[in-house]
Amino acid sequence: MDAVLDDLARHWWLYTAIPFIAALIGYVTKRVAIEMMFKPLEFVGIKPFLGWQGVVPKHGGRMAAVATELLTSNLLDVKEVFRRIDPAIITREIEQPLLRAVDEVAREVLEKHHPRLWEVMPTMAQELLIKQVQASTPRLVREFMAEMTENLDEVLDFQHMTVQRLTRDKKLLVRLVRETSRPEMAFIARTGIYFGFGLGVVQAIVWAATKEPWVLPIFGGCIGLFTDWLAIKLIFVPREPVRVGRVILQGKFQRRRAEVARQYGELIANEILTVPNLLDAVLRGPRSDRLYALVERLVANAVDEQASAARPMVAMAVGGQRLHEIKQAAARKALERLPPTIRYAEGYLTEAMDVAKIVERRMLGLTPLEFEGLLRPAFRQDEWKLIAVGGAIGFLVGELQVLLMLH
């Protein structure tokens, strides 16, 4: 015992350093584990034996599917979102660009598919025809919105759109996880300091008593393993508040439910369920042919209505086949003009759909287990690897401590 006390007195600064080095081990292993979750976006190394890719981008497809399933099953009814749009307001918002688009489409189609008829028509007759088509456009927009909302599942594959968006843009997927869990990541790093320091005190006492070279690396490895595992657990459990004396224990992620709901809702609204993304999905998605069929039918009805008064004359002058081609061309042109036209109503559409508030409100109603599902998949798949890396780094730093103590 006297020898131990004498050694402590002569090398007090070394023993004092051990808890601080252990705290540093805890912190470094946590920071490394956190960064390994998100970086690098692409695999770096020699496949398949040596290298690493961030856990989140590596499992982007699975995580995107989980996020989409959560969105569609618990957080968002896309039909409900579309029903919030008032056709009368959207028609008013796009009135002028819509009238210009109708004018351009009508002239282009007739000039291309029946140039002789268009050329021989008096200017007044041309303008009258255009005005008649423009006058029927508001009703056509209302019919289009009603039909699209009613048959939304047929023209929009929301799950495909969301998964594709998240897997194609790995940075966005990383942001979705990282932005909503930033305090949890900081918490993990801080716990490494506290737990590491406490175990470092025990480590110093054991070294003083044994002088066993394996003590420091083994303790370092244990610090890395245990603190990584414990920090991840403390994020999620206990799911429900548990009172221990005057202290209330609850997983940090669960305690931040209101803040996470707001952040998640804003990310979904600003990055995924945006007006441009929705337009792209219905115009170029796997069900775009059904949207074209819907627009073609509405345009065909409008053309037939305009031509109904002079149907025999129109049929004789134009011909049934050419009239069908005119309807098809008008439908294609209408879809081409849709994105630049609808852009004028983007502000109204974003405000009317109010995706952020809908998602936030629904998230606050989730059960603790469902709420945990937002972030837990980011850890679960390769959680053991992150913990193992923490242990390995702790072991190596412990070896360095041995060299310091011995030499």
3-state secondary structure of 242: strand
Contact criterion met (CB below 8 Å) for 251 and 236: yes
Quick one: average pLDDT of 177-189?
Answer: 80
Quick one: average pLDDT of 343-370?
Answer: 88
Quick one: average pLDDT of 227-240?
Answer: 78
Question: What pLDDT digit, counting tens, does each position of 289-301 carry?
Answer: 888 888 888 877 7
Torsions phi, psi for 77 (to 5 deg): -105, 105
Contact criterion met (CB below 8 Å) for 161 and 81: no
Question: What pLDDT digit, counting tens, does each position of 64-91 carry?
Answer: 777 777 777 778 888 888 888 888 888 8
For the chain, what percent of residues have pLDDT higher than 90?
A: 0
How much is the pTM?
0.73
Residue 235 has pLDDT above 70, yes or no: yes
First to last CA, the chain: 23
| Per-chain mean pLDDT for the chain | 79
Cα(234)–Cα(268) distance, rounded to whole angstroms? 27
**Sequence-ordered strand ranges (E) for 84-232:** none
3-state secondary structure of 141: helix
Residue 389 has pLDDT above 50, yes or no: yes
3-state secondary structure of 248: strand
Token look-up 């140039």 returns 115
Question: What pLDDT digit, counting tens, does each position of 117-154 carry?
Answer: 666 666 776 677 778 777 878 888 888 888 888 888 88
Contact criterion met (CB below 8 Å) for 24 and 196: yes
Cα(283)–Cα(264) distance, rounded to whole angstroms? 27
